[in-house]
Structure 1
Amino acid sequence: MSTTAAQQPAAEGVLDVRPLAGALGVELWAVGGGPLDVNSLDDAGCAAIREALCAYHVVVIRDQQMDEADVARFGRRFGELERHPYLGGTSAEPDVVPIIKEPHETVNFGGGWHSEMSFLPCPPMATALFAVEVPRFGGDTLFANQQAAYLGLSDTMKRIAEGLTAMHSAASQYGRGGDSDRHSSDRGSMAVDVSDEAQATVTHPVVRTHPETGAKALYVNRPFTEAISSMRRNESKALLEMLWAHSVHEQFTCRVRWEPGTFTMWDNRSVQHYALNDYHGQRRHMLRVTIAGDRPR
């Protein structure tokens, strides 16, 4: 069954759920239309948010007042926090990473479609991002539903993909000579620890099963998926190029427009995301946490 906003109303009676697009994504409000206060949610409210996350993949909560401690505290209500292996957190909250682009910088963090840290043996279950300061225009984030992308394959391609595994690595992004190394002078606010450890590879299924819903999703992404296991290089390249293009087709996407105080959480087990870099000359400041996940299966 497809997990789209139109087909799976979540947390009815606890939250006011407003779809962002047909493929995925919702805004969550209090019943009656007022803003939620994530700092004062009880266990039932957090359970309703988790239900909405699994059903809609991306949840957006507007008009929040949060600092670093609040962001970390809210993230821990969903699980243990996962530190980024190549980015440092704040001095007060090491698990909270400030995502900043200054007006003079040209390269942003998270530009390009990707699945959060798929190069780890157990990639994060979810990511949460809080908007402290946003540009007057631009700086939106795109999301693509990988469960819908899987369902959009032909039956033949589904059978092929389900039998495959792929190698993932951080080398192209965080290895020596990789993207972060080459552009280090262009993203001064986002110091990245380039490391030889980024060359390590892990193997994940090309189609993963969501541990909470049982839904299947494509699990390959351009920055971190290096090759299909047990294929010749030209075969792997051709198949990955097709899957990468298919997985982010417009019909599988939604777009989040940020405002100061917007808090967004997304399910890394079922989405890719893309931080648009279309706000040069303006400042953007976000606070980010990731919640630990399990090994894809």
Structure 2
Amino acid sequence: MSSAVELHDSFDTLEIHPMSPTVGAEISGVRMNGDVPDEQIAEIRRALLDWKVIFFRDQNVEITDHLAFGRKFGELEIHPFTPNREDHPEVVVIHHDEKSKSGENQWHSDVTWRQEPSLGSILRGRQIPSVGGDTLFADMFAAYDGLADEVKEKIEGKTAKHSFVPSFGRRMSEEKRAAFLEQYPEPHHPIVRTHPESGRRGLYVNGAFTQSIDGMEPEESDKLLRFLYKQASVPEYQCRFRWEENSVAFWDNRSVQHYAAFDYHPNVRRVERVTLIGDKPV
């Protein structure tokens, strides 16, 4: 990978401020409350591929700007299980307060229970606690590269089953769950995914949605998955983002996992997300 200085020098409309050697960079020079020029959109896309998650500060934008910015990068999906804005169902509302008992504090990639999981997500901070509520991101290319050769050989060519049921289906009636399973049949994705644009290979299993490794006995599958999940927890593969009101995070769901620290209870944290439709992992 190019050095941070080389990456910085290669952009005409952006300033890049790396947060770690391989993952995460703050971007300045972008205003989302308007029609962002195509030249700058192309550079943002390139920065996303380089850094896997990018951050923007002080984006005091309307919801229509958030949507318009997202559509510059692809078609937006509507999440079937989360609270969405009634006026704009493409916008997922993530709100926690004194009544909340848990948050999104588990390492995961978004909606890997779809046959074609998300390309990426654009999350905007609306109401942020004075302390806590950071989001951590893990570089899953580095997580794969850090595996021992014998582990890489063991998982090469293998697939794993993913499902929405553990996270979203537990409180559904059997009838409703069966209907959703018919609509969203459980996919079998490669454990090692090749990024469709960069060609890099990364781990593609996560503790929220991955259920089992195909062709393995349950005990062996569970043991190996637990080991692979831990790769996201290695600090050298991570960056950590401290939210402020009107901050925006844009991550490549094919490259990173994320973890929202739930350390601010009983304070309020409200963020809104638009998500880009992706393609079938290979």
TM-score, normalised via structure 1 length: 0.87
* TM-superposed deviation, 1:284: 1.0
Structure 2 unmatched runs, 5+: none
Q: Distance in 2 between matches of 1:267 and 1:5?
A: 20
Could you tell me how far 1:111 is from its partner in structure 2?
Answer: 1.9
SS of corresponding position for 1:81: coil
For 1:7 and 1:238, the matched residues in 2 are separated by 41
Aligned to 1:111: 105
Amino acid at match of 2:123: L
Residue 89 of structure 2 is aligned to residue 94 of structure 1: yes
Name the SS for the 2:33 alignment partner. helix
Residue 242 of structure 2 is aligned to residue 257 of structure 1: yes
Match of 2:7 among 6, 9, 20: 9
- What is the identity, as a one-letter code, of the residue corresponding to 2:277? A
Q: Which moved further from structure 2: 96-105 or 220-229?
A: 96-105
Mapped to 2, the partners of 1:171 and 1:104 lie a distance apart of: 24
Q: Which moved more, 1:19-28 or 1:204-213?
A: 19-28
1:70 aligned to 2:42?
no
Task: Give yes or no for the alignment of 1:293 onto 2:278.
Answer: yes
Q: Aligned to 1:287, what secondary structure does the other structure show? A: strand
Does structure 1 residue 221 correspond to structure 2 residue 197? Answer: no
Quote the offset at 1:160 in angstroms. Answer: 2.3
Corresponding letter in the other structure for 2:78? R
CA–CA distance in 2 between the matches of 1:104 and 1:87?
Answer: 17
Structure 1 pair 269–76 and aligned structure 2 pair: CA distance change class (3 A): same
Q: CA deviation at 1:51?
A: 0.4
Q: Return the alpha-carbon distance in structure 1 between the equivalents of residues 256 and 74 of structure 2.
A: 19
Partner SS, residue 187 of structure 2 = strand
Which secondary structure state, in structure 2, belongs to the residue aligned with residue 122 of structure 1? coil
Taking a change above 3 Å as real, the CA distance of residues 207 and 92 of structure 1, as seen in their structure-2 partners, is same
Question: Cα RMSD (Å) of the superposition?
Answer: 1.9
| Partner AA of 1:100 in structure 2 | H
Is 1:243 matched with 2:231? no
CA shift in 2, pair 1:135/1:63, >3 Å: same
**CA–CA distance in structure 2, aligned partners of residues 83 and 218 of structure 1:** 26
C-alpha distance in 2 between matches for 1:103 and 1:296 = 38
Q: Percent identity?
A: 39
Whether the aligned pair in 2 keeps the contact of 1:130 and 1:261 (CA below 8 Å) is: yes
Q: Work out which of the residue numbers 119, 125, 132 in structure 1 matches 2:119.
A: 125
Amino acid in the other structure paired with 2:141: Q
For the residue of structure 2 that corresponds to 1:13, the secondary structure is coil
Residue in 1 that maps onto 2:219: 234
Check conservation: 1:62, 1:261, Cα contact below 8 A.
yes
Provide the rounded CA distance (Å) in 2 between the counterparts of 1:237 and 1:78.
36
SS of residue in 1 equivalent to 2:85:
coil
Say whether residues 1:59 and 2:54 are aligned partners: yes
Q: What is the CA-CA distance between 1:5 and the residue it aligns to?
A: 6.9
Cα distance per residue 1:127-151 (max 9 Å; x no partner): 1100111001000001000011111
State how far apart, in whole Å, the 1-side matches of 2:105 and 2:6 are: 30
Change (3 A) 1:217 1:133: same
How far does residue 177 in structure 1 lie from its aligned partner after superposition? 4.2
Q: CA deviation at 1:88?
A: 3.8
User: Does the CA-based 8 Å contact 1:5-1:23 persist in structure 2?
Assistant: no
CA-CA distance at 1:4 after TM superposition: 8.0
Partner in structure 1 of residue 266 of structure 2: 281
For 1:18-33, list aligned pairs within 5 A: 18-30=17-29
Aligned pairs for 1:154-169 (under 5 A) are 154-169=148-163
Deviation string 1:168-205 (CA, Å, 9 cap, x unpaired) is 00111111348xx9xxxxxxxxxxxx744258411000
3-state secondary structure, aligned to 2:108? coil
Q: CA deviation at 1:158?
A: 1.8
SS in structure 1 at match of 2:74: coil
Q: How many residues align?
A: 275
How far the C-alpha of 1:247 sits from its partner, in A, is: 3.1
